[in-house]
Structure 1
Amino acid sequence: MKRPPILLLAACATALASTALTSTASAAPITVTHFVSTEATLVPVKGAVAVTTAPGDDPTSLEARPWLEAVGRELSALGYGAATPGAADFIVEVHADRDTTHHEHHRGPVSVGMGGESGSRYSGFGMGVGFTFGGGPKDTVATRLVVVIRDRASGRPWWEGRAENIETAKKREAGADVAAPRLAHAVFAGFPGKSGETITVK
């Protein structure tokens, strides 16, 4: 069996890398807002954390798992240790909302119109032909991630981050497996950040 030429393999690798970059570049930006308590600005928020869902959410649900894992990875990267709720310095509450908006799809008509002057931007001869493709607006998924870090002893919130974005429903970035790590990474951008400041993360 002949081995593929090295140049062909290189071309395939380049194409795959280009596809990955295009996918990332096509992702919708994420809007992030931080709220930081006075205590958190005076004392470094470090120590062991227990990551769980916000009150009212089920921490054992499959829906919550990718969000809890993504937030846990980001906190670990920031230097936090992991602990049980009873031994942790901070309790991290995670809540994610995902809403799909369905749009009516209408097929637009094909229109042909005679222009009154030559050099039309459609045909160059005074006749315009217009087609409507795509079936109208696409369904979208709005995702919102809220992370609250509370002091375990007092229960007071030390830090809160909110990340939101809207993706076209059919894009891979709209899936929870991609959205969870993207929004979790974005919500900690510039951590702890300035209280009340809103930034955009691509």
Structure 2
Amino acid sequence: MSKRLILAACLALPIGASAAAAPRVEVTRFHVGDPARSGTIAVEEMPGNPDISLEFRTYAAAVAQEWQRVGFTTAAAPAASDYVAQVAFRRSFRPTGAPRNDRPVSVGVGGGIGSGGGSGLGLGIGINLSGKPKDMVTTELQIQLRRRADSAVIWEGRAMTQARQGSADAQPVTAAQKLSAALIGGYPGESGRTITVK
């Protein structure tokens, strides 16, 4: 094989590897029967979580946009909406190459989503100046859709994705949009099934 062909093959490897490693979103949803398909909705922070203002607004905006796509209308007066979408999110950081049983560094605290597992709320920013491989960032989004009249949960779901720290997919705005679209898209989805969305 000529040196030119070897060089071309070497240059092609990172491109293929990057394409294969494109982040995916793991989604799990739960509901009983056929939940509501329309009505006014307000997006609120899940109770028990700290006020994180700007970061929450990033996720709230993405979530509200996706509810509109599936037939709901953003309430002009949030306190009088038919439904409330309660939102929590968490970002955690795991050093590249760390064993999977090592606990990642998490940013955020939170309550639970009804079908098992803890939830969290928070957003962290890390800067790596050491030249070492960047951390993997895991971002989780959890939503509970409740009727405002009786506070009953009619639908809930969790979405999670991973991306390398510093990449476009690890940025808060991109992660919020990607997770919201994957979780709410196809609403209400199959209850109790975990799927992977590209």
TM-score range, shorter chain: 0.5 to 0.7
Matched position secondary structure for 1:64: helix
Task: Note the C-alpha offset of 1:59.
Answer: 5.7
Report how far residue 103 of structure 1 moved: 4.3
Tell me if 1:93 matches 2:86. Answer: yes
Following superposition, the deviation at residue 45 of structure 1 comes to: 3.1
- Structure 1 residue 63 displacement after superposition: 1.4
- Provide the TM-score with structure 1 as the length reference: 0.66
C-alpha contact 1:104 1:136 (8 A) present in aligned 2: no
What does residue 30 of structure 1 align with?
A: 25
Post-superposition Cα deviations, 1:135-189, rounded to whole Å, max 9, x if no partner, equal 8764110110001100111111000111001111121110101111011100013
Indicate the larger mover: 165-174 or 149-158. 165-174
Whether 1:55 aligns to 2:50 is no
- TM-superposed CA distance for 1:26, in Å, is 5.3
**Which residue of the partner structure matches residue 60 of structure 2?**
68
Determine which of 70, 76, 92 is the counterpart of 1:78: 70
Aligned to 2:140: 144
Q: Does structure 1 retain, via aligned residues, the 8 Å contact 2:66–2:185?
A: no
- The one-character-per-residue Cα deviations of 1:4-55 (angstroms, maximum 9, x if unpaired) are xxxxxxxxxxxxxxxxxxx8985311000010123xx1x5332000111100
What is the TM-score normalised by the length of structure 2? 0.68
Q: 4+ residue stretches of structure 1 with deviation over 3 A? A: 23-27, 135-138
Indicate how the Cα distance of structure 1 residues 155 and 197 shifts in structure 2: closer, same or farther if over 3 A, else same.
same
Label 1:77 to 1:104 Cα distance change in 2 as closer, same or farther (>3 A).
closer
Instruction: State the SS of the aligned residue for 1:98.
Output: strand
Work out which of the two has the higher radius of gyration on C-alpha atoms and give 1 or 2. Answer: 1
- Answer yes or no: is 1:102 the counterpart of 2:95: yes
Counterpart-to-counterpart distance in 2, 1:25 and 1:176: 22
> How much has 1:60 moved relative to structure 2?
6.2
> 2: CA distance between counterparts of 1:67 and 1:24?
26
CA distance in 2, matches of 1:75, 1:162: 15
Counterpart-to-counterpart distance in 2, 1:68 and 1:24: 30
For the residues of structure 2 that align with 1:183 and 1:24, how far apart are their CA atoms? Answer: 19
